[in-house]
Chains A and B, each alone.
Chain A
Amino acid sequence: MNCNTTEGVRICSQCNNKIKDPNLIRCPRCNNILLKKCSECKGCSIFKKMG
């Protein structure tokens, strides 16, 4: 998981379960497919760098 947030946690969009294991493809709780990377990586915006 390519992420530079301090927590490195993905949150399931269906059941709000927090997943720390970067290798999981599905949420263990509700089986929803997870995004591979952290949804809100702070490094992903050029505007943040300019700011």
Chain B
Amino acid sequence: MDCCNISHQIDIPEGARKVVLAGNPNVGKSIFFNSFTGVYVDVSNFPGTTLDISSGKFRDYVIIDTPGVYGVSSFNDEEIVARDAIASADLVVNVIDAVHLERDLFLTQQIIDMGIPTIVAINMMDEAKKNGLQINIDRLSEELGVPVIPTIAPKGEGLDKVKNSLHLAEIGNSSIKLTKELEEITKKSTNKAEAVLIMEGDPHVIAKNNVEVIDYREQVYLDRRERVNNIIDRVVTETTDSTSFSTKLGRLMLKPLTGIPMLLGALYLLYEFVGVFIAQTVVGITEETIFIETYEPFIRGIVENFIPESSFIGQILIGEFGILTMSVTYTLGLLLPLVVGFYLFLSVLEDSGYLPRIAALVDRLLTSIGLNGRAVIPMILGFGCVTMATITTRMLGSKRERIIAVFLLGLAIPCSAQIGVIVGLIAPLGVKYLIIYAITIFIVYVLSGTILNKILPGESTDLLIDLPPLRIPRIGNVLRKTYMKSISFIKEAGPIFIIGAIAITLLQYSGILVAIQNAVEPITVGWLGLPKETATAFIMGIVRRDFGAAGLSSLTMTADQTIVSLVTITLFVPCIAAMIIMLKERSKTEAVTIWISSWVIAFITGGILYRVLSLFA
């Protein structure tokens, strides 16, 4: 494969020197590029990829922008493009983030090792100062052996100095200890830059230079990392006051004695915000007023001009579970406010630095049920919506933990819509029944997790997380994260609700729904001691958990029967949306096993609770 020369893709005037802008993702390279080149920019496609390369002129130079990369290699298209640009550069302007030197300096050192004249622009110096980082710029320049210029690119500070310093670019101090090996390889290759890439085992560069395959990558990387860490030790000082309020608060959050009450307080705030304000007040307006009372009559009116509601197609479109009625109302009227509210709260926890502290606090507890502290995030999300929480289990460290988390989410975590209805039904019965409900669910949760932990082979992954400094959440960050996560969720889950709506309409229209109700009567009446009609609520719970719980409210039941039915419906199968996500996230066998297990556990627990309550009746 032809590599290592960007000149094929970009028009370089004779005599012009190639200046490549390189750096990690999100360091602000675009601002530098725009500052250098102004409005007149050429965009060329890099062959074999979907990536475009931007280039422009600045004085006698051609400025070439590259994708943000962590290193120069052939790991992915972005790194291949960056590699070819950097390897053929006359000089490199390497933009680094002052807050993340330990991450960014690896690329800097790699470019220096490749023997390419470099200038380093150390950007976001204002952020570094806010984070209590003091960087000795002169010492950094001395260690690297290249000019280092501090900048705050969004404010334009330092950009002119970078532009006027291009002629000062230097070949810096190498970190490569395998000097003999490098010498040998350089003799056989085009230049030093490619020799370094050959040492690191880059297959394209090896093929281009027609040399034997060698791979010192691991050793070279370790030596480079050691050098970068040494440099950082010498040039960076943290000036954060260890007695500051945020530092003390951060410590209190980690200790169980103070951390747990704080966590309970945060969960209470979450309940008040999402469970009360959003789920009741806001959803009362969006679902009821806007969608059920205004939108649905409107859309039914339009569709009925062409298709009668009583027909099969009419039922699919605008029936009780219609895709234009229930699906839209459910997605936009009910779920969207809940999702936005929940992600808003979660983004605040994340941006403030509190979330990783929660994970550290609950790690020991979660380890006993086969998870680690990271699982607290999907568990908290599950109280919002189990479907969305199931998607988040991707972040967990091993397949084993993902299975346990998905199982517990589907089994024992009621979603906010369901919680709203459950609280509404239990409240009139008194605190005693609330305690019975909470304890029963908690016991099932811990027992199931413990059993799964014992029978699934392997162990939990250790919790290793960075604890960022605590800070007041930035509104821009919070809103941006909330927006992106909410949109992503609606795109994933929206089509699933449509499928669910079609499925339940088919069951209802064909009469299978009624047949199922009759078939399960021995369980609902005989085993659980409930009225026969609760079967309908359970079947509705398969589509919508809150609908299932709400179905119970119209039945006349004793206090004991109410609790038995609520415990059973909480533990009952996940809703169709959550099931479809489970099928996507886990294998079919695992998802079906989880589904069947929740049936069994729900009814066994309900039956046992009925008999225990009967003993005390």
A interface residue numbers (CB < 8 A to B): 2, 14-17, 20-21, 25, 28-37, 39-41, 43-47, 49-51
List chain B residues, Cβ under 8 A from A36: 397, 461-462, 464
Distance in angstroms between the alpha carbons of A34 and B457 in the assembled complex: 21
Q: Does B590 contact A (CB under 8 A)?
A: yes
Chain B residues numbered 457-515 whose CB sits less than 8 Å from any CB in chain A: 457-459, 461-462, 464-466
Contacts A21-B218, A25-B464, A31-B102 given: A39-B398 contact, CB under 8 Å? yes
Contacts A15-B70, A36-B464 given: A30-B398 contact, CB under 8 Å? no
Contact A28 B222 (CB under 8 A): yes
Which residue of the partner chain B has the closest CB to A28?
A: B225
Contact B102 A16 (CB under 8 A): no
Which residue of the partner chain A has the closest CB to B75?
A: A16
Query: Per a CB cutoff under 8 Å, which of B70, B221, B457 touches A43?
Result: B457
Query: Per a CB cutoff under 8 Å, which of A16, A32, A43, A46 touches B455?
Result: A46
Q: Closest 4 CB pairs between A and B?
A: A15-B70, A28-B225, A44-B458, A44-B400
Which residue of the partner chain B has the closest CB to A21?
A: B218
* A to B contact number (C-beta, < 8 Å): 84
Contact A44 B398 (CB under 8 A): yes
Q: Does B71 contact A (CB under 8 A)?
A: yes
B interface residue numbers (CB < 8 A to A): 24, 70-71, 75-76, 102-103, 106, 218, 221-222, 224-225, 397-400, 403, 455-459, 461-462, 464-466, 587, 589-590, 593
List chain B residues, Cβ under 8 A from A32: 103
Contact A37 B397 (CB under 8 A): yes
Contact A51 B589 (CB under 8 A): yes
List chain B residues, Cβ under 8 A from A2: 458-459
Name which of A2, A16, A25, A51 has the most chain B CB atoms within 10 A of its CB: A16
List chain A residues, Cβ under 8 A from B459: 2, 37
Distance in angstroms between the alpha carbons of A15 and B612 in the assembled complex: 55
Q: Can you list 28 residue pairs at the A/B interface with Cβ under 8 Å?
A: A15-B71, A15-B75, A16-B75, A17-B221, A28-B222, A28-B224, A29-B70, A29-B71, A29-B225, A30-B24, A30-B103, A31-B103, A31-B106, A32-B103, A33-B466, A34-B464, A36-B462, A37-B397, A39-B398, A40-B398, A40-B399, A43-B457, A44-B457, A45-B400, A45-B403, A47-B587, A47-B589, A50-B589
Contact B399 A41 (CB under 8 A): yes
Which residue of the partner chain A has the closest CB to B70?
A: A15
Contacts A28-B225, A46-B455 given: A33-B464 contact, CB under 8 Å? yes
Contact B590 A43 (CB under 8 A): no
List chain B residues, Cβ under 8 A from A28: 106, 221-222, 224-225
Name which of A25, A31, A37, A44 has the most chain B CB atoms within 10 A of its CB: A31
Q: A30-B106, A35-B461 are in contact. List 15 more A-B contacts (CB 8 A).
A: A2-B459, A15-B70, A17-B70, A17-B71, A25-B464, A29-B71, A29-B225, A33-B465, A36-B464, A37-B397, A40-B398, A41-B458, A44-B400, A45-B400, A47-B587
Which residue of the partner chain B has the closest CB to A40?
A: B399
Q: How far is the CB of A10 from chain B (nearest CB, A)?
A: 11
Contact A45 B102 (CB under 8 A): no
Which residue of the partner chain B has the closest CB to A13?
A: B395
Distance in angstroms between the alpha carbons of A50 and B70 in the assembled complex: 41
Contact B399 A44 (CB under 8 A): yes
Distance in angstroms between the alpha carbons of A20 and B24 in the assembled complex: 24
Distance in angstroms between the alpha carbons of A48 and B167 in the assembled complex: 61
Contacts A14-B70, A47-B587 given: A41-B398 contact, CB under 8 Å? yes
Which residue of the partner chain A has the closest CB to B456?
A: A46
Distance in angstroms between the alpha carbons of A20 and B106 in the assembled complex: 19
Q: How far is the CB of B495 from chain A (nearest CB, A)?
A: 27
Distance in angstroms between the alpha carbons of A20 and B201 in the assembled complex: 15
Contact A47 B590 (CB under 8 A): yes
Which residue of the partner chain A has the closest CB to B590?
A: A47
Q: How far is the CB of B235 from chain A (nearest CB, A)?
A: 16
List chain B residues, Cβ under 8 A from A50: 589
Query: Per a CB cutoff under 8 Å, which of A29, A33, A46 touches B457?
Result: A46
Distance in angstroms between the alpha carbons of A27 and B497 in the assembled complex: 40
List chain A residues, Cβ under 8 A from B458: 2, 41, 43-44
List chain B residues, Cβ under 8 A from A25: 464
Contact B590 A30 (CB under 8 A): no
List chain A residues, Cβ under 8 A from B403: 45
Q: How far is the CB of A17 from chain B (nearest CB, A)?
A: 7
Q: How far is the CB of A20 from chain B (nearest CB, A)?
A: 6
Contact A29 B106 (CB under 8 A): yes
Which residue of the partner chain B has the closest CB to A50?
A: B589
List chain B residues, Cβ under 8 A from A33: 464-466
Which residue of the partner chain B has the closest CB to A32?
A: B103
Q: How far is the CB of A5 from chain B (nearest CB, A)?
A: 12
Distance in angstroms between the alpha carbons of A28 and B598 in the assembled complex: 43
Query: Per a CB cutoff under 8 Å, which of A21, A29, A37 touches B398?
Result: A37
Distance in angstroms between the alpha carbons of A43 and B459 in the assembled complex: 11
Q: How far is the CB of B591 from chain A (nearest CB, A)?
A: 10
Q: How far is the CB of A32 from chain B (nearest CB, A)?
A: 8
List chain A residues, Cβ under 8 A from B399: 40-41, 44-45
List chain A residues, Cβ under 8 A from B587: 47
Contact A20 B398 (CB under 8 A): no
List chain A residues, Cβ under 8 A from B224: 28
